[in-house]
Amino acid sequence: MSNLEEFLEETRQTTPRVVLVNLDATEGKLATLEGVAKNASCKVVGYYSHVNRGLAEEARRVGISVVLSRGAFANKLEGILREFCSS
């Protein structure tokens, strides 16, 4: 989805098991993900450019479950998908 508000509405109607978020693309709206991040049945995995450590700290403050640099995310993506998307 390209629209953050549409995404948030969708997560209210159907609770996903995992949400993958490019933190660099949140454009200052990271706090709006707090409700999704605090949902116990949904794991939020955020990734960011390694040069933007402040964004990683902000993501942790709003409750994002896993915060990884883009490189670490790429290396762990298969395991993340296996853990949360397997039947």
> Would the pLDDT of 1 be above 60?
no
Range of the structural domain that residue 25 is part of: 4-85
The CB-side HSE value for 46 (13 A sphere, CA atoms) comes to 27
Burial of 35 (0-12, 13-18, 19+ CB in 10 A): middle
Mean pLDDT, rounded, for 71-84: 92
When divided into structural domains, the chain yields a total of 1
> Would the pLDDT of 14 be above 90?
no
pLDDT in tens, 22-69: 999 887 788 888 877 777 778 889 999 988 888 999 999 999 989 999
13: CATH: 3.40.50.2300
- Look up the pTM and report it: 0.81
